[in-house]
Amino acid sequence: EWWEKHRPLGIMIENHIESRPQSGVSSADVIYEAVAEGGITRFLAIFYCQEASNIGPVRSARTYFLDWVSEYGDYPLYAHVGGANTPGMANALGQIADYGWNSYNDLSQFSLSYPTFKRVEQPNGRNVATEHTMFSSTEELWNVADKRKLTNVNEDGDRWDEKFVKYSFKDNAKVEERAQAQKIHVELWEDYKEYAIDWIYDRISNVYKRENGGKLHLDKNTNKQLTAKNIVVLVMVESHAFDGYEDNVHLLYRTKGTGKAYVFMDGKQVVGRWEKDSRTARTEIYDNLGKPVTFNAGSIWFEILPQQGVINVS
């Protein structure tokens, strides 16, 4: 009853080395990881089935993350701290306005005060730049949505998931059917070692354990290593926005169309394809026979790999 009374909540969480360990990532159901700028990755964490009392550091919006959060039904909740706003294709804040999200399902820190968002000085016991100190919680953000009459239905009684294409899930493979071991090494930008990703398969628990920059990647809320039941690597075309922003750091990804997909679960790899027809259509994953992938029940972590990125599986 608890989770059926709200709608999905997407939160932008940074992955700068000064932000680690982040808080609340392990409570997300689905996570998208892509480069935000300069090889530094950022997460869009989708919360629905679990809550987190502390989440962050929360950072700014990027246009391609809007395409992914738009998959989660009509007016998905989207929490962030400002965003790219240079006129052009990467103008995330302008797009949020164009979609009719402002002051409705958009939960920008710029328009919400304490305690919805709060600064936490020295979040990991050390001095960091101000941009690494903004935090929130699922309770506070869903409370704002409630006040805006955006629960599982909107003010007209329309359900958020009327057009949502649900994921399909299966039970875990039996232990004897699982691979003995597997390691997935991903570099979204080659040779940016502090952001290199390793997913190490654990046969007994049937999860993938995350390492980032060669170190265990922890959630500060639990002090436990981040894990995922399913890893999906989506190969996409990456380009610069050429919008006149300083050093041309704003990026674009070709999120719509189709491309190669690597799917990992039960210690096994399937090479197939992804497909997304429009901004609001869900990214659907197909295996090498063209059949929709059925995932292990549990979290899904999407890695957005540029065509020039690195993936090694052993």
What was the pLDDT predicted at 1? 86
List helix spans (H) across the chain. 63-69, 92-98, 138-147
Determine the 3-state secondary structure of 18 from DSSP.
Answer: helix
* Per-residue confidence (pLDDT) for residue 177, from 0 to 100: 96
Amino acid 301: pLDDT? 98
**Neighbouring C-beta atoms of residue 305, cutoff 10 Å:** 26
pLDDT of residue 104: 97
Pair 187, 309: CB distance under 8 Å: yes
> Can you give the pLDDT at residue 3?
87
What is the per-residue pLDDT for 195? 98
- State both tokens at 63: 């246009």
Spatial separation of the C-alpha atoms in residues 91 and 243, rounded to whole Å = 9
Q: Cβ distance 288 to 272 under 8 Å?
A: yes
Rounded CA separation 99/61 (Å)? 14
Q: In this structure, which amino acid lies at residue 42?
A: R
**Residue-wise over 122-133: b if at least 16 C-beta within 10 A, else e?**
ebbeeebeeebb
Sign of the alpha-carbon torsion through 73, 298, 217, 309: negative
Looking at residue 201, what is its pLDDT?
A: 98
Q: Quote the tokens at residue 23.
A: 């808080």
Contact, 221 vs 24, CB < 8 A? yes
What tokens were used for 281?
């259509």
Token output for 122:
């020295």
Write out the chain's pLDDT in tens, 314 residues: 898 999 999 999 999 999 999 999 999 999 999 999 999 999 999 999 999 999 999 999 999 999 999 999 999 999 999 999 999 999 999 999 999 999 999 999 999 989 999 999 999 889 999 999 999 999 999 999 999 999 999 999 999 999 999 999 999 999 999 999 999 999 999 999 999 999 999 999 999 999 999 999 999 999 999 999 999 999 999 999 999 999 999 999 999 999 999 999 999 999 999 999 999 999 999 999 999 999 999 999 999 999 999 999 99
